[in-house]
C-alpha cells in the first residue's frame, strides 16, 4: 500500500497538505511503517477503527502516540489483560456516600484515540465491551446512553493469533474494524535507523524531546473528512467493489465471505486513499490499493485451507486477479 503525495496532476489542497504534515511529523518518531501510517490516516478520514497486528517491538504503541501528538488529540491507553472487566473500559457507577447517590465515572474509552493494547489477551466478554462504543459512538451504563467525544477512534493492537494466551476476536467485533494492518518486522536499513536513533538519545516516552508537535487539529480533520465524503465514486467502480466482495463468498477456501458492510467499508477506504493522493474521484486502482487491508479480517478461511497455507490476504489477492477491471 505505497503512498504518493500527488496523483493525476492534482496539487494538494490545504486539508491534504495538513495530513501530509502529520505524516512527516510521525516520521520523526517512527522509522518506516509507511503503510501503517497511511492506514491510520485512512481510518481517521473515514471515521473508522483500525486493528494493528504485529509481534511486540514493532512500534505499534509509539505509532499511535505519535499520531495523537501530531493531531493535538487526546489519547488514552488500555492494557487488555485476562482479568480486565468491561467496566474498566467503559466506566462504572461509583457510590457517593456523602451525596447518597451513584455517580458515573467515565472509563478510558472517553477520549479521542483509544489505544486498546493487546486486545486479544482479554476474554470475549471484555472485548465485546467496545462494540457499542465502536458502532454507536456511545456507551450505555445503567440504561443511559453517554456520547463519546468527536473525533473518536479505537486503535487496537493484537499479537499474532498463534501466540500463547490470546483469544481470537469474535467475527462481529472484527467486522467493526475498518482496517486490519499487519506490521512486519522492519527491513535491515530501517532497523539500523531505529537503533541509530536510540543510540543518539531518542526516548520513545518523551515525544516532545524528539521534536514532535501538533501540526494540525480537529477542525482541519473535520474539513478533510468532508472533502473525502465528496470524493466521487463512479457507478462502474461501485459495481467493481461489489463484485470483489461477492467473489469472496463463493471462494472454495472460504467459510465466511465479506458482508455488505465490508463492501461499504471498501468504498470508504478507496475514497480516502484517492483523496490522500490528491484526486477527487476513485479509480479501480484505489480499490485495489485498499482491498486487502479492508477485507482480510472479514474473511473466515476453512480449516483445511489454512493447513495448506491459504490466508485471507491471498484469497483477496486471487479475487483481485480474476475480477474484470472496469474501463
3-state secondary structure of 285: helix
Q: Who wins on pLDDT, 315 or 103?
A: 315
Report pLDDT digits (tens) over 68-112: 999 999 999 999 888 888 889 998 888 888 887 888 889 999 999
Q: Residues with Cβ < 8 Å from 193, sequence gap 6 or more?
A: 31, 32
Q: What is the pLDDT of residue 129?
A: 79
Q: How confident is the model at residue 55 (pLDDT cuts 50, 70, 90)?
A: confident
* Contact between 190 and 32 (Cβ < 8 Å): yes
Q: Residues with Cβ < 8 Å from 166, sequence gap 6 or more?
A: 120, 121, 158, 159
The pLDDT mean for the chain works out to 88
Among candidates 185, 121, 208, which has minimal Cα distance to 158? 121
Please give the share of the chain, as a percent, with pLDDT higher than 70.
95
Say yes or no: do domains 1-80+111-123+150-226 and 230-327 share a fold. Answer: no
Q: Which ranges constitute the DSSP H helices of the chain? A: 14-26, 34-46, 60-71, 86-90, 124-127, 131-136, 171-174, 188-199, 218-229, 235-249, 260-276, 284-295, 303-307, 312-322
CATH 3.20.20.220 fits 230-327, yes or no: no
Question: What's CA 324's distance to the chain center, in Å?
Answer: 28
Q: What is the pLDDT of residue 190?
A: 87
CATH code, residues 1-80+111-123+150-226: 3.40.50.300
Q: What is the pLDDT of residue 273?
A: 96
First to last CA, the chain: 22
* Contact between 67 and 214 (Cβ < 8 Å): no
Report pLDDT digits (tens) over 199-225: 988 887 878 877 888 998 888 999 999
Checking if the pLDDT of 163 tops 70, the result is no
Domain boundaries, the chain: 1-80+111-123+150-226, 230-327
Checking if the pLDDT of 323 tops 90, the result is yes
Q: What is the pLDDT of residue 109?
A: 93
Distance (Å) of CA 303 to CA 38, 177, 222, 230, 258: 32, 23, 43, 41, 17
Among candidates 282, 279, 228, which has minimal Cα distance to 9? 279
pTM of the entire structure? 0.88
Among candidates 158, 177, 159, which has minimal Cα distance to 295? 177
Report pLDDT digits (tens) over 137-162: 998 887 788 999 999 999 999 877 65
Amino acid at each position: 500500500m505505497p503512498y504518493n503525495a500527488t496523483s493525476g496532476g492534482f496539487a494538494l489542497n490545504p486539508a491534504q497538505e495538513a495530513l501530509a504534515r502529520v505524516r512527516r511529523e510521525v516520521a520523526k518518531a517512527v522509522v518506516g511503517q509507511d503503510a501503517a501510517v497511511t492506514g491510520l490516516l485512512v481510518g481517521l478520514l473515514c471515521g473508522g477503527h483500525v486493528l494493528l497486528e504485529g509481534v511486540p517491538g514493532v512500534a505499534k504503541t509509539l505509532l499511535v502516540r505519535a499520531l495523537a501528538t501530531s493531531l493535538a488529540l487526546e489519547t488514552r491507553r488500555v492494557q487488555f489483560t485476562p482479568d480486565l472487566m468491561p467496566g474498566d473500559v467503559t466506566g462504572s457507577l461509583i457510590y457517593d456516600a456523602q451525596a447518597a447517590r451513584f455517580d458515573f465515572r467515565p472509563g478510558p474509552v472517553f477520549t479521542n484515540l483509544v489505544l486498546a493494547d493487546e486486545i486479544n489477551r482479554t476474554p470475549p466478554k471484555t472485548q465485546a465491551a467496545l462494540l457499542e462504543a465502536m458502532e454507536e459512538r456511545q456507551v450505555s451504563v445503567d440504561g443511559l446512553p453517554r456520547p463519546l467525544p468527536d473525533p473518536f477512534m479505537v486503535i487496537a493492537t493484537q499479537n499474532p493469533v498463534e501466540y500463547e494466551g490470546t483469544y481470537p476476536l469474535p467475527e462481529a467485533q472484527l467486522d467493526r474494524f475498518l482496517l486490519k494492518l499487519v506490521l512486519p518486522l522492519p527491513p535491515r536499513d530501517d532497523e539500523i535507523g531505529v537503533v541509530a536513533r536510540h543510540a543518539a538519545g531518542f526516548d520513545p516516552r518523551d515525544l516532545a524531546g524528539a521534536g514532535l508537535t501538533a501540526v494540525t487539529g480537529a477542525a482541519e480533520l473535520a474539513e478533510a473528512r468532508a472533502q473525502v465524503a465528496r470524493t466521487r465514486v463512479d457507478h462502474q467502480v461501485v459495481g467493481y467493489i461489489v463484485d470483489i466482495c461477492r467473489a469472496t463468498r463463493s471462494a472454495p477456501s472460504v467459510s465466511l465471505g465479506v458482508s455488505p458492510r465490508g463492501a461499504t467499508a471498501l468504498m470508504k477506504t478507496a475514497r480516502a486513499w484517492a483523496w490522500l493522493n490528491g484526486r477527487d474521484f476513485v479509480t479501480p486502482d484505489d480499490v485495489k490499493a485498499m482491498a486487502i487491508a479492508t477485507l482480510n479480517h472479514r474473511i473466515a478461511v476453512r480449516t483445511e485451507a489454512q493447513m495448506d497455507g491459504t490466508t485471507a490476504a491471498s484469497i483477496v489477492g486471487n479475487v483481485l486477479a480474476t475480477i474484470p477491471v472496469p474501463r
